[in-house]
């Protein structure tokens, strides 16, 4: 059963449940005070900037909530990398992954039967709820890449397939960070680390060794069986939408479901689901239904299953508006910018270089909280 509402009024109210100070102290623990807003940010229902301004407007001292702001900035950073590198993020970005034994996913991960209780539990919870705690995602990626010697791409697509907050940039580049293809070293966690953050007391697993004694060269027996997964998206039957050729058209994607975007304009509103895209980046039926239910928050929304050319054929003379996103680069028309947290940080080779460049603007925005209206008032 999903734990995530798709009701716009309820999503707005989730903002009031953010505990930014506690987040900084507890976010790595499986029961930490995470915001649980990631499915709505990744689907464009909320923006990182809206969350940033909402936290700012609560009157907290900046130093006490900086960790949450920094984590929001990570999402923008991954998106800026995606904009810059494009489809290159689908391959090893900076270093070749090594060693690699296969391009598949260990069956024990897919089945949630690795023998590491916290990891197995999180995989079954992913299938049930569409969510996995970020620390558990890192554990899973490390097991797949650094212990099972899987190339990161196949297991990353498996995880993306099931995630309500499946953002390909955050997902792919985080997996690459763990595998060492987008960082200077690999990420590895041992059983003590997992026990600490997941409140388990497990012993005897292939991870139950001090870090300097972890065996990375030999694949544990439980991870040796692999398989090529058949992942496909059960797109809905395409229907003929009722469109007014005299009106401009707002074109949405599964990464832009913002109910406030051009909400006062009289327009056709289309959620475009492109089969070719989902063939390359499939999502599960549960994730698709989550997206379709979020789309219901936008009055007059109609679904079109087809290519961008399909929309142009339906509306050859209408003006098309859409929001910038790497998956929409082949669209044409009036492109509106996304609501980034910061205005002039640009692309940087590392997140910490990016974050350093943003610091001046962060502090300026924070200092203006008494002088500027709320960007996203709850009502």
What DSSP string describes 207-255?
T-S-GGG---SS--GGG--EE-------PPPP------TTS-EEEEBTT
Instruction: Provide the pLDDT confidence category of residue 1 given band limits of 50, 70 and 90.
Output: very low
**pLDDT tens for each residue of 147-189:** 999 999 999 999 999 999 999 999 999 999 999 999 889 999 9
* Strand 334-336 to 226-227 pairing: unpaired
CATH number for the domain that contains residue 43: 1.25.40.80
Residue 105 lies in a domain: yes
Residue 376 lies in a domain: no
**Last-in-domain residue among 227, 261, 285:** 227
Q: Clarify whether residues 25 and 58 are in a common domain.
A: yes
Average pLDDT of the chain is 93
Which residue shows structure tokens 């969350």? 51
Q: Clarify whether residues 95 and 84 are in a common domain.
A: no
Give the pLDDT mean for 99-118.
96
Residue 125 lies in a domain: yes
pLDDT computed for residue 370 by the predictor: 57
Q: Clarify whether residues 160 and 276 are in a common domain.
A: no
Residue 109 lies in a domain: yes
pLDDT computed for residue 35 by the predictor: 95
DSSP 8-state secondary structure symbol assigned to residue 144: I
pTM of the model: 0.94
Q: Clarify whether residues 163 and 75 are in a common domain.
A: no
**pLDDT tens for each residue of 241-300:** 999 999 999 999 999 999 999 999 999 999 999 999 999 999 999 999 999 999 999 999
What's 91-136 look like in SS3?
CCCCCCCCCCCECCEEHHHHHCCCCCHHHHHHHHHHHHHCCCCHHH
Indicate the burial class of 305 (C-beta count within 10 angstroms; 0-12, 13-18, 19 or more).
Answer: middle
Instruction: Provide the pLDDT confidence category of residue 345 given band limits of 50, 70 and 90.
Output: confident
CA angle 165, 29, 175 (to 5 degrees): 45
Q: Clarify whether residues 67 and 84 are in a common domain.
A: yes
**Residue among 134, 116, 119 nearest 28 (CA):** 134
**pLDDT tens for each residue of 193-209:** 999 999 999 999 999 99
CATH number for the domain that contains residue 191: 1.10.579.10
Q: Clarify whether residues 81 and 98 are in a common domain.
A: no
First to last CA, the chain: 28
Give me the residues paired with residue 269 across strands. 250, 301
Residue 54 lies in a domain: yes
Q: Clarify whether residues 116 and 159 are in a common domain.
A: yes
Give the pLDDT mean for 20-33.
95
Q: Clarify whether residues 80 and 98 are in a common domain.
A: no
Q: Clarify whether residues 163 and 187 are in a common domain.
A: yes
Residues 34, 135: Cα–Cα separation, whole Å: 11
Residue 328 lies in a domain: yes
**pLDDT tens for each residue of 297-339:** 999 999 999 999 999 999 999 999 999 999 999 999 999 999 8
Give me the residues paired with residue 302 across strands. 270
**Last-in-domain residue among 227, 259, 283:** 227
pLDDT of 2 higher than 60: no
Total domains in the fold of the chain: 3
Q: Clarify whether residues 98 and 194 are in a common domain.
A: yes
Q: Are 5 and 37 in contact (CB under 8 A)?
A: no
* Strand 334-336 to 320-323 pairing: parallel
For residue 26, give its domain range. 8-88+342-367
Alpha helices (runs of H) in the chain, residue ranges in sequence order: 8-14, 20-26, 38-42, 48-56, 62-85, 107-111, 117-129, 134-142, 153-162, 168-179, 191-198, 275-280, 285-295, 308-314, 351-367
Q: Clarify whether residues 74 and 103 are in a common domain.
A: no
Give me the residues paired with residue 304 across strands. 272
Residues 75, 114: Cα–Cα separation, whole Å: 29
Q: Clarify whether residues 136 and 26 are in a common domain.
A: no
Residue 152 lies in a domain: yes
Residue 141 lies in a domain: yes
Phi/psi at 57 (5° precision): -70, -10
């Amino acid at each position: 059963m999903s734990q995530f509402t798709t009701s716009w009024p309820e999503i707005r109210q989730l903002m009031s449940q953010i505990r930014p100070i506690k987040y900084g102290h507890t976010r790595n623990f499986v029961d930490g005070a995470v915001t649980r807003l990631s499915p709505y940010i990744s689907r464009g229902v909320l923006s990182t900037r809206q969350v940033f301004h909402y936290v700012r407007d609560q009157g907290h001292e900046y130093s006490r909530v900086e960790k949450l702001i920094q984590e929001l900035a990570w999402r923008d950073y991954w998106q800026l990398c995606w904009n810059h590198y494009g489809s290159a993020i689908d391959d090893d970005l900076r270093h070749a992954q090594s060693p690699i034994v296969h391009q598949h996913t260990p069956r024990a991960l897919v089945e949630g039967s690795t023998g590491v209780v916290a990891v197995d539990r999180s995989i079954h919870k992913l299938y049930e709820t569409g969510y996995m705690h970020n620390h558990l995602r890192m554990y899973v990626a490390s097991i797949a890449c650094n212990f099972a010697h899987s190339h990161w791409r196949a297991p990353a697509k498996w995880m993306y397939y099931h995630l309500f907050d499946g953002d390909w940039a955050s997902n792919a580049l985080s997996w690459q960070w763990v595998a060492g293809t987008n960082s200077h070293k690999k990420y590895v966690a041992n059983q003590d680390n997992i026990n600490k953050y997941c409140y388990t007391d497990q012993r005897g697993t292939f991870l139950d060794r001090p870090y300097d004694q972890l065996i990375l060269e030999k694949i544990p027996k439980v991870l040796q069986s692999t398989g090529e997964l058949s992942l496909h998206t059960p797109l809905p039957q395409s229907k003929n939408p009722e469109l007014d050729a005299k009106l401009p058209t707002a074109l949405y994607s599964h990464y832009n479901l913002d109910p406030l975007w051009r909400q006062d304009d009289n327009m056709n509103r289309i959620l475009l689901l492109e089969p070719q895209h989902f063939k390359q980046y499939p999502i599960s039926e549960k994730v698709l239904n989550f997206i379709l239910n979020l789309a219901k928050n936008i009055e007059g929304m109609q679904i079109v299953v087809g290519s961008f050319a399909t929309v142009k054929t339906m509306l050859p003379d209408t003006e098309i508006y859409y929001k910038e996103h790497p998956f929409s680069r082949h669209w044409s028309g009036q492109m509106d910018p996304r609501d980034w947290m910061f205005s002039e940080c640009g692309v940087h080779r590392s997140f910490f270089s990016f974050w350093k460049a943003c610091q001046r603007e962060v502090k300026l925005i924070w200092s203006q909280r008494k002088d500027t209206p709320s960007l996203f008032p709850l009502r």
